[in-house]
Amino acid sequence: MTLDSPVFVDPSWVEKHSDVTLVDVRERREYRDVGHITDAVSVPFDSFRDPSSVATGMLPGRDAFEELLGDAGISNGETLVAYDDGAGVYAARFLLTAAVYGHDGNLYLVDGGFEALRERFGVTNDPIEPEPAVYDASEPDGQLVADREDVEAAVEDEETLVVDTRTAAEYDHSHVPTAVQLSWETFVDEDGRLRPVDEIEPILDERGLSPETPVVLYCNTARRLSHTFTVLTELGYEDVSFYEGSLTDWVRAESDDWDPERLYERVREVAPQGFEALPRELGEDVFGRLHLIGLYTQKQDGYFMLRTKVPNGVLTAAQARTYGEIVDEFARAPAEYGGTEQNAEFGDGFLDVTTRQGLQAHWVRVEDMPEIWDRYDEVGLTTIQASGNTLRNVVACPASGLGEEVTDVRALGEGIADAFEGNQRYANLPRKLKVSLSGCHENCGRSEIQDLGFVPAVKDGRDGFHVKVGGGLSDGPRAATDLGVFLEPEQVEPLTLAAADLFIEQGSYIDTAVNRLKFIVEEYGIDGFREELQRYVDFDFEEAGEDLTTSYRGDHVGVHQTEDGYYVGLNLPTGRMRGEELVELADLAERYGSGELRLTANQNVLVAGVREETLDDLLAEPLLERYSPDPGPFTRGIVTCTGAEFCKYGVVETKSRGIEWARTLDSWLAETDRLDESDLPDAVRVHMSGCSASCAQPQIGDIAMRGEAKRTPEGTKDAADVGLGGDLGRGAFADWIAGSVVLDEVPEGIKRLVTAYATDAGDEAFSEWTERVPDSDLRSLIEGEAGPETIVQGGDHVTTEVN
């Protein structure tokens, strides 16, 4: 091993040793733009991580490391002195990587990093073009790198100490059994410099460490442990190794606490004892684990939101009836929370259709769950893996098998759901995995915002699929990228499992900022990701064929004719309805249709298989006056999350507000003489999230909102950031235009916006119009700063008045 004491050196030492090679591990942009120490070569941190290091910090391959150092002009025997722009974590990772691959020369780390060197040497922006060298790396040093079995052995070995180098908070959340917590930051002062030995040694003594102690280090991405490794080496520790794997993966793999079916059985056993028994009997972390069986604690203590899986959004009448009856009976608020008056619009006993074609109900008590589950079993419903870090509800075109399409994807969706359900490995992914299937030409599965989105394709006369990977919303929305392969229908499920396997092995279990599949896709690039994914399947990828997607369908509301009848799409504003109304709708589905309902990603519902001779009778049913197949454009387009009514993260109420807004705006549209309903699209898609998250998918709405609280001279008011122009058909996400708009003022702003659009846009889609009009003008329309607003079209001012 060439990483030996001393490791830490200061700038004066560097000045005296002019024959060393300085290695700058900062980002290449900083090396170039901020400047670097004269003669320092650039080996940026990201370049000596395996592409999966976005997740686990794994070492680069031997060949990759050889090529990297050779291109930097570094040979095996050189003395390397590494620096970064912080306390040395990244520089330490470089040195440890070099040691693992058998670097022959000595390895040093500059205490104080770039800033300390700059004070002594100054910087230059002159480019360095090193002469390529031959670097011969050895196989990884097995004495340095510990694997899972080594960690397990260390846990059982009383002589070996397992050391967690993360923060105390991370350690308290979860840690390897017997591990002691020793944050790497303990060793540095407020300036990021190494503390004196006489300050460090008592800390080590307190944890039971001495130079003779065998030590196994771990963190999550192997950066922090690298710094601790260099400190221990500096102090003469010789038996130190480090674990490259993921902590949480290790912990969960060893515990049946994270087995969804075992958890389901344990909750059934404990449920009669009530809410307080759950942490007492099942552990303090139980409420996080309960997501795996569909249970979320809601804002009101002692009650749960219950999420139910509905693969493909398909419900039989029996399932819908049972679910509606359960909601009517068990989703009831207690008197202290308003009882039957708790919601002005729906009273009590109501449910929500989600944007993933699932179902949610509130006010559920754990004491009632055994009976609920028993009744679910009778009709084939389940909450197993309805949520949590696993496969989320499989989304599909709600008209699969009903209309014109290339492939009926229902069986594929059910197969994928079945493959994941109850499987502990796939129940504990680094983060949620979202999959959609479209068998029609209209991208009903919204493939662009899925981790995996399958869309129809044809090749050599064979019907199959293309797949898009790495989509998602949140703070950094990313449209999924076409993988560039053609799949036979029977290859869809294996590829989905392969993507999950890749995600498990290379996804982050700790760093919630970078633990969706899209980050791995970004790290590899699409070609690299395809090559990596190929290793996880037992068939060879075919090149892509012809994509059969021709358009994007916003929703399925309305009466739609098929070869053997009709399906009728009913609008559920914000996705909410009463349980007893779902029971009634199940009866209508049996009376007038095929006995099947379909939930949609727009929070609506279809009645399938309606016969021509019964269509008029269905349309005349009183229930369809409330849940209309022909609503106004604002009612048709409103989509919201749960909001502050129940969600712990919700800042503003969304459901009742959304319904009220939609009614108000549709009434205004019917009465105004400034524009006609025909001037607007069938649906004005207003998507409102109650906080900064993306549960209502605001980024794909015409008008997007994410709730917040705004301080005003009159006190704190509900407000929202407002964005415009989301349009999956054009591959556009909403741009955030106005910040902290008081919600009471938003409807008037919407009136001004749509009036301006109808006046000015011509044939442009709303997203095209908002893309063309300057943000400042759009902001003025939203905020109404000067009363009647003006926008500019070709140099002419168009006055937009609202009445």
DSSP string, 558-587: EEEEETTEEEEEEP-GGGEEEHHHHHHHHH
Residue type, 779: R
* Residue 302 token pair: 């002692």
Cβ proximity of 42 and 24 under 8 Å: yes
Instruction: Give the tens place of pLDDT for each residue, 645-684.
Output: 999 899 999 999 999 999 999 999 999 988 888 899 999 9
Measure Cα distances from 441 to 222, 252, 444, 598 in Å. Answer: 46, 41, 8, 19
Show Cβ contacts of residue 785 under 8 Å, excluding neighbours closer than 6 positions. none
How far does CA 336 lie from the centroid of its chain? 36
- Say how many residues make up the chain: 803
- Mean model confidence pLDDT for the chain: 92
E strand or H helix at 41, and its extent? strand 41-42
Residue type, 56: T
Residue type, 448: E
Measure Cα distances from 265 to 79, 251, 276, 615 in Å. Answer: 60, 21, 18, 45
Give the C-alpha separation, 391 to 692, whole Å. Answer: 23
- Tell me the backbone φ, ψ of residue 117, rounded to 5 degrees: -65, -40
pLDDT at 512: 61
Instruction: Give the tens place of pLDDT for each residue, 200-243.
Output: 999 999 999 999 999 999 887 678 899 999 999 999 999 999 98
pLDDT at 248: 56
Give the C-alpha separation, 428 to 414, whole Å. Answer: 20
Cβ proximity of 336 and 616 under 8 Å: no
- In this structure, the strands spanning 240-243 and 215-218 are parallel
Give the C-alpha separation, 291 to 391, whole Å. Answer: 12
The domain made up of 145-252 has a fold known as Oxidized Rhodanese; domain 1 (3.40.250)
Give the C-alpha separation, 403 to 177, whole Å. Answer: 56
CB atoms within 10 A of CB 803: 10
Show Cβ contacts of residue 732 under 8 Å, excluding neighbours closer than 6 positions. 725, 726, 767, 771
Q: Is 525 in a helix, a strand, or coil?
A: coil
Report residue 1's pLDDT band, with 50, 70 and 90 as the boundaries: very low
Helices (H), 122-256: 148-156, 168-173, 197-206, 224-234, 247-253
Instruction: Report, as an integer, the average pLDDT of 561-587.
Output: 97
pLDDT at 565: 95
In 510-557, DSSP assigns E strands to 542-543, 546-547
- End-to-end C-alpha distance for the chain, whole angstroms: 80
Give ranges for CATH 3.40.250.10 in the chain. 8-121, 145-252
Number of H helices, E strands in the chain: 29, 35
* Residue 16 token pair: 């005296």
Give the C-alpha separation, 483 to 227, whole Å. Answer: 38
Cβ proximity of 765 and 747 under 8 Å: no
Instruction: Report, as an integer, the average pLDDT of 171-176.
Output: 76
Q: In what order do the strands lie in the sheet with 145-146?
A: 145-146, 240-243, 215-218, 161-164, 180-181
Q: Which of 401-405, 433-437, 600-604, 625-629 has the lowest mean pLDDT?
A: 401-405
Cβ proximity of 235 and 201 under 8 Å: yes
* Residue 674 token pair: 């400034």
What is the chain's alpha carbon radius of gyration, rounded to the nearest angstrom?
30
E strand or H helix at 668, and its extent? helix 655-671
pLDDT at 582: 99
Q: Does position 174 have pLDDT exceeding 90, yes or no?
A: no
Cβ proximity of 219 and 510 under 8 Å: no
Where is pLDDT greater, at 48 or 184? 184
Backbone dihedral region for residue 210 (phi beyond 0: left; psi -120 to 50: alpha; all else: beta): beta
- Tell me the backbone φ, ψ of residue 651, rounded to 5 degrees: -100, -35
Measure Cα distances from 175 to 167, 172, 254, 337, 729 in Å. Answer: 11, 7, 12, 39, 45
Instruction: Give the tens place of pLDDT for each residue, 233-284.
Output: 999 999 999 987 656 556 565 667 889 999 999 999 999 999 999 999 998 8
Tokens 């997740």 belong to 55
Give the C-alpha separation, 171 to 183, whole Å. Answer: 9
Q: How wide is the angle at C-alpha 364 spanned by C-alphas 363 and 370, nearest 5°? A: 170
Show Cβ contacts of residue 133 under 8 Å, excluding neighbours closer than 6 positions. 69, 70, 72, 73, 74, 75
b/e burial code for range 667-697 (CB count within 10 A of at least 16 → b): ebbeeeebbeeeebbbbbbbbbbbbebbbbb
Give the C-alpha separation, 78 to 81, whole Å. Answer: 10
Q: Does position 791 have pLDDT exceeding 70, yes or no?
A: no
Instruction: Give the tens place of pLDDT for each residue, 493-514.
Output: 999 999 999 998 888 665 566 7
* Residue 26 token pair: 């900062």
Give ranges for CATH 3.30.413.10 in the chain. 400-547, 636-800
Give the C-alpha separation, 267 to 803, whole Å. Answer: 57
Instruction: Give the tens place of pLDDT for each residue, 457-497.
Output: 999 999 999 999 999 998 789 999 999 999 999 999 999 99
CATH architecture of 636-800: 2-Layer Sandwich (3.30)
pLDDT at 669: 96
* Residue 91 token pair: 């520089």
pLDDT at 676: 85
Helices 655-671, 746-760: crossing angle, 10 deg rounding:
40
Instruction: Give the tens place of pLDDT for each residue, 308-317.
Output: 999 999 999 9
CATH 3.30.450.40 fits 400-547, yes or no: no
pLDDT at 351: 98
Q: Is 738 in a helix, a strand, or coil?
A: strand
- In this structure, the strands spanning 21-24 and 80-83 are parallel
Backbone dihedral region for residue 640 (phi beyond 0: left; psi -120 to 50: alpha; all else: beta): beta
Give the C-alpha separation, 124 to 205, whole Å. Answer: 44
Q: Does position 789 have pLDDT exceeding 80, yes or no?
A: no
CATH 2.60.130.10 fits 8-121, yes or no: no
Q: Is 335 in a helix, a strand, or coil?
A: helix
Tokens 């090559």 belong to 531
Give the C-alpha separation, 305 to 362, whole Å. Answer: 4
Q: Does position 794 have pLDDT exceeding 50, yes or no?
A: no
pLDDT at 511: 59
Q: Environment class of residue 729 by beta-carbon count within 10 Å: exposed (0-12), middle (13-18) or buried (19+)?
A: middle
* Residue 722 token pair: 């407002």
pLDDT at 230: 96
* Residue 1 token pair: 């091993």
Tokens 């005296």 belong to 16
Measure Cα distances from 340 to 350, 353, 365, 492 in Å. Answer: 11, 21, 17, 46
Got the DSSP string for 249-266?
Answer: HHHHHT-GGG-HHHHHHH
CA neighbor of 91 nearest in space, from 222, 226, 197, 218: 226
Give the C-alpha separation, 302 to 40, whole Å. Answer: 60
pLDDT at 395: 98
Instruction: Report, as an integer, the average pLDDT of 727-746.
Output: 95
pLDDT at 151: 87
